[in-house]
Structure 1
Amino acid sequence: MILVFRLNVFVREKTQVDLTPLFKKIKRIFKQQKKFVLLEMVLGKFAEVGRVVKINYGPQEGKLATIVEILNDKRVLIDGPTTGVQRQVIPIRRLTLTKFNLKGATRGARTGVITKAIKKSDPFAQYQNTIAAKKVAKKALRAKLTDFDRFRVMILRKRRSALLSTQLKSLRKNNTGGKAAAQAKGGNKKK
């Protein structure tokens, strides 16, 4: 019998709760019972004031903004003065949380304060260097390709694949030559 203990924390404000004593107590109980397996799940990103988010649905899809206020467990107030996102209330399900947090952002901060904090730390430029942003950029670039461009990409991929396979074959040939010589001398025999 496997019991999965799962703790989901979606919204965190300035006050933080230390959960390590709770986890230690639960671990001790499960170790005594020997029947249960404890799986820990620790979330790294929280919807908190100052968190940089990407809008993943709606007319401003793909733009970055900052959480200014948490209204309840489903809606937040965001502002993106440098990216063209107006101050608005938006559901959390329409946002993707990033790992970047804006330093100096407080609850209900005005647009000017947010702008100064963005210019100071510039998390939007840091986001452009992440793997997720690069994937989105690659997808947008491929969406703009014409038929001829897609044909050229196909030809280049075939060439790369052919070069890789020939290199791999030559490496295998060189490596198996040593094994074949060892087998000819009597090593590595199967019984």
Structure 2
Amino acid sequence: MPVYKRLVEVGRVAFIAKGKDQGKLATIVNVIDGNHVLVDGPSSGVSRGSRNLKDLQLTKFKTNVRVGQRTKGVKKAFDEGKVADKFSQTKWAKNIVNKQKRANLTDFERFKLMRAKQLRNRLVRVELAKLRKAAKH
């Protein structure tokens, strides 16, 4: 049984975590060496170029492209596979969206969120106390 499920391979879709085009998806078109790959993401606005693997996070998605595939073919495979739609449905993408929402909250919105959490936690504590009391008897 393989230890790794997401291998660096031609056609693997990667999430760009650092640098230019941060937060976008790109397809690996060629493996240059042990540390660098050639990526292309015409559908997501990533220009074709060499990237360090330390700046990429591999996704579970894979497109059907050949080694050194031209940009037109990469775009076609990416769009036919509906990779962007599939990625947006993952828990990973939803966490990214939620993190962005939290980062853009104003002071008052953060205060309202804190008060809502306090109210929810108070209701949970009251119900838990009722259940404990009922369990004792």
TM-score of the pair, normalised by structure 1: 0.69
Number of the residue aligned with 1:160: 120
Residue 128 of structure 1: how far off its partner (Å): 1.2
C-alpha displacement at 1:174, in angstroms? 2.0
Deviations 1:4-27 (A, max 9, x none): xxxxxxxxxxxxxxxx7xxxxxxx
Identity of aligned residues (%): 38
Q: 1:146-185, aligned counterparts within 5 Å?
A: 146-177=106-137
Q: Pick the structure with greater CA Rg.
A: 1
**Are residues 1:43 and 2:4 paired?**
yes
Q: Write out aligned runs for 1:1-191 (5 A).
A: 42-102=3-63, 104-177=64-137
| Higher strand proportion (structure 1 or 2) | 2
User: What is the aligned-residue RMSD (CA, Å)?
Assistant: 1.3
Q: Secondary structure at the match of 2:115?
A: helix
- Partner-residue secondary structure (3-state), 1:46: coil
Deviation at 1:164, TM superposition (A): 1.1
Measured in 1, the distance between the counterparts of 2:129 and 2:65 equals 57
| Matched AA of 1:98 | T
Residue type at the aligned position of 2:73: V
Equivalent-residue separation in structure 1 for 2:4 and 2:38 (angstroms): 22
Task: Give, in whole Å, the separation in 2 of the partners of 1:120 and 1:56.
Answer: 24
Residue type of the partner of 1:123?
V
Offset of residue 82 of structure 1:
0.8
Structure 2 gap ranges (5+): none
- Secondary structure of the residue aligned to 1:79 is strand
Q: TM-score, normalised by structure 2?
A: 0.94
Listed as ranges, the gaps of 5+ residues in structure 1 are 1-19, 21-40, 178-191
In the comparison of the two structures, how many residue pairs are matched? 137
